[in-house]
Amino acid sequence: MNLKVLEFVSKGRERVWFKIGGAAAISGIANSAVVIIVNAAAKNYSQLNFKYLVLFALCITIYIITFKFSFSRSTYLARDIVAQTRLRIADKLRRASLLSFEGMGQGRIYTTLSENTEIIFEASRLITATASAVVMLMLTFGYLAVISRMALWMSIIIIFCAVFVYISNQEVIKRYLTTATQKEAEFYTSLNHFLHGFIEIKMNRAKSDDIFNNYLKKFALSEKDFKIKAEAKLLTNQIFAQTFWYFLVASIVFLLPQLTKISSNEIMSSITVVMFILGPIGMIVGSIPLIVKGNLAVDKLQGLENELDKVDDLKATSERNPFAPPAVFAQIRLDDAGFSYSDPGDLGSFSIGPIDLKINTGEIVFIIGGNGSGKTTLLKVMAGLYYPKSGAIFMNNRIVDKTNYAHYRNEMAAIFTEFHLFDRLYGVKDVDLDRVDEMFRIMELMDKTDYVDGEFTNLNLSTGQRRRLALIIALMEDKPVIIIDELAADQDPEFRKYFYEVLLKDLKAQGKTIIATSHDDRYFHVADRVVKMEYGKIVKEK
């Protein structure tokens, strides 16, 4: 069997895993020795034999010590490698380009960092116990051959047939459970529509009946049926496993004497061996599916890592930051800049450019246009989130290339429509609490949330309040350029007026450069310039 899991967790730690493997082998030897000692002592049951008693105790002690060492160490190392892998992937994720990150999908990332890494952990931890079981099984089979070769072959044939039937049944169980899981997911999808569309459902009896009878009820009953089938098959498998052992013992007792000449002592010894090997067989059979899953999980994890290595947009970054103080921000200039990407459904592509645009320090620039005109894409290009596929960006007359791209991006704070609201002021050192309180007052959030012990006390806010809190976080970063994507869209009229006519002007007075998208034509006079976009191009600037 291909053990990609073992290769993955042992990379760079071969010596430690060699010790673990050695301990697992010794535990298997000690376990098989117990069988031999028990059989030997049973032949002299009329009197107490201290030699066998001491040997028995010694083997048990060795087994306990070595098995505990191998299992605990492999568990520790497996857990450590899972933690290191998660951190390594998280680090590579933060270095990935935004365009590549958006194409990966969060579901794949979550699955890799949670489900797949846990499968690898369980599989790698199980390998040591399985290795001990394999060693014990091989030695015990060798001992059974010494007792009776016919007993050995009879046991192997029966065990092989039983394992084949057991695994076949497990595959059926797996299919039932997979289908049940799919039906469960469909049930919760429908339930999600039911919960989020509760008002519409209350308003429309036909819609309510349709969702309940043809979806919720259908999926729930289907899930129930497949889980019942799986439970029934699982019970059958458990009964089969128990019956198989009875059949094996019966074969040795009743059939073996008819096939070969064998004494009663040899029959009893064979039965003792069979009793001891059932545990290791169960361990090996049970571990195979998980190890196979572990190998697949390793493939998925390594595939994601390899993909992240290819989209690292920081690997060419120079340590020297040409935009850091004492350099002062003066201008951003786009020269024939263009960008294009495929849409999420792969139904076509969208492009902006070529674009020529200058943003000077201390300016307020509004970018306007209809939905789909390319405003947000242009902002992401200007923010250094999308690298232009044609043309160039200049900051302070220095071209922005792969060596300083990250440094350029770090000179800006941005709030996009799909922003995430963090619970802390991450990256802000020596937080000025008085300034935070003042911003809460300005943004009318004093009675909505607070900043206590390094975190915001409440993030359960309305959409407009969340946007205002996001603006506070952006302003606390104290960057020279602030990019704002439709922040005023969900604000009440009073705050919208304050935002345009007071707050933006105050930021301009502080020397901040504001680049914002807006649909509020009644406030266009606040901007120093208004840039209009249509179909990915600038059509007017005034």
For 479-526, write each residue's pLDDT tens digit. 999 999 988 888 888 999 999 999 999 999 999 999 999 989 999 999
Question: Does the structure show a pLDDT above 70 at 45?
Answer: no
Comparing 41-50, 230-239, 471-480, 533-542, the range with the smallest average pLDDT is 41-50
Please tell me the predicted confidence (pLDDT) of residue 267. Answer: 86
The structure's pTM equals 0.76
Q: What is the pLDDT of residue 35?
A: 87
Q: Which CATH class is domain 331-541?
A: alpha beta
- Sign of the C-alpha dihedral, residues 315, 318, 323, 326? positive
pLDDT of 404 reads 94
396 pLDDT band, cuts 50/70/90, is very high
| Structure-token match 């104290």, residue found | 478
Can you read off the two tokens belonging to residue 283? 């361990």
Tell me whether strands 390-395 and 398-399 are parallel, antiparallel or unpaired: antiparallel
- What CA–CA distances, in Å, run from 225 to 11, 184, 187, 210? 45, 11, 14, 21
pLDDT at 15 over 90: no
- Considering only CA atoms, which of 118, 114, 74 is closest in space to residue 90? 114
Please state the rounded mean pLDDT for residues 41-68: 84
Contacts (Cβ under 8 Å, ≥6 apart) of 379: 367, 414, 416, 483, 485, 515, 517
Q: Looking at the predicted structure, is the pLDDT value of residue 1 above 80?
A: no
pLDDT confidence of residue 41: 81
The radius of gyration of the chain's CA atoms, rounded to the nearest angstrom, is: 34
Q: What percent of the chain has pLDDT over 70?
A: 97
Long-range CB pairs of 142-149, under 8 A, 24+ apart, other chains included = 143/32, 143/35, 143/36, 143/273, 144/270, 144/273, 147/266, 147/269, 147/270, 147/273, 148/256, 148/260, 148/262, 148/266, 148/270
Phi, psi of 147 (to 5 degrees): -70, -55
Using CA atoms in the order 391, 515, 405, 421, what is the torsion angle rounded to 10 degrees?
-140
* pLDDT above 70 for 177: yes
Summarised one tens digit per residue, pLDDT across range 236-260 is 887 887 788 788 888 888 888 888 8
Q: First CA to last CA across the chain, in angstroms?
A: 70
Strand partners, 452: 455
Check residue 255 and give its pLDDT.
85
pLDDT of residue 336: 95
Give the mean model confidence (pLDDT) for residues 25-51. 82
Residue 343: what pLDDT?
57
The answer to whether the beta carbons of residues 131 and 221 sit under 8 Å apart is no
Distance separating alpha carbons of residues 488 and 496, to the nearest angstrom? 6
What are the angstrom distances between the C-alpha of 327 and each of 331, 402, 527? 12, 19, 26
Cα–Cα distance for residue pair 76/78, rounded to 1 Å: 6
Most confident residue range from 181-190, 280-289, 318-327, 474-483: 474-483
β-sheet bridge partners, residue 338: 390
Mean pLDDT value across residues 406-430: 92
Give me the residue spans of the domains in the chain.
1-147+287-315, 149-261, 331-541
Considering the chain, what is the average pLDDT of its residues?
A: 89
Between 384 and 342, the higher pLDDT residue: 384
Q: What is the DSSP string of 307-328?
A: HHHHTBSSTT--S--TTSTTS-
Of 141-150, 273-282, 340-349, which range is least confident?
340-349
495 φ/ψ angles, rounded to the nearest 5 degrees: -70, -35
Name the residue with tokens 């509760």.
198
Whether residue 386 has pLDDT greater than 90: yes
How many CA atoms lie less than 13 Å away from 359 in the CB half-sphere? 30
Residue 183 pLDDT greater than 70, yes or no = yes
Find residue 451's DSSP bridge partners: 456
CA separation for the pair 500, 519 (Å, rounded):
12
Contacts of 462 by beta carbon, 8 Å cutoff, 6+ apart: 490
Residue 191 above 80 pLDDT? yes
Question: Distances in Å between the alpha carbon of 340 and those of 145, 354, 358?
Answer: 71, 11, 21
Model pLDDT for residues 345-360, shown as the tens digit of each residue: 544 578 998 999 999 9
Given this model, what pLDDT does residue 347 score?
Answer: 44
Residue 234: pLDDT over 50 = yes
Query: How far apart, in whole angstroms, are the C-alpha atoms of residue 97 and residue 311?
Result: 6
Q: Tell me the C-alpha distance between 446 and 5, whole Å.
A: 53
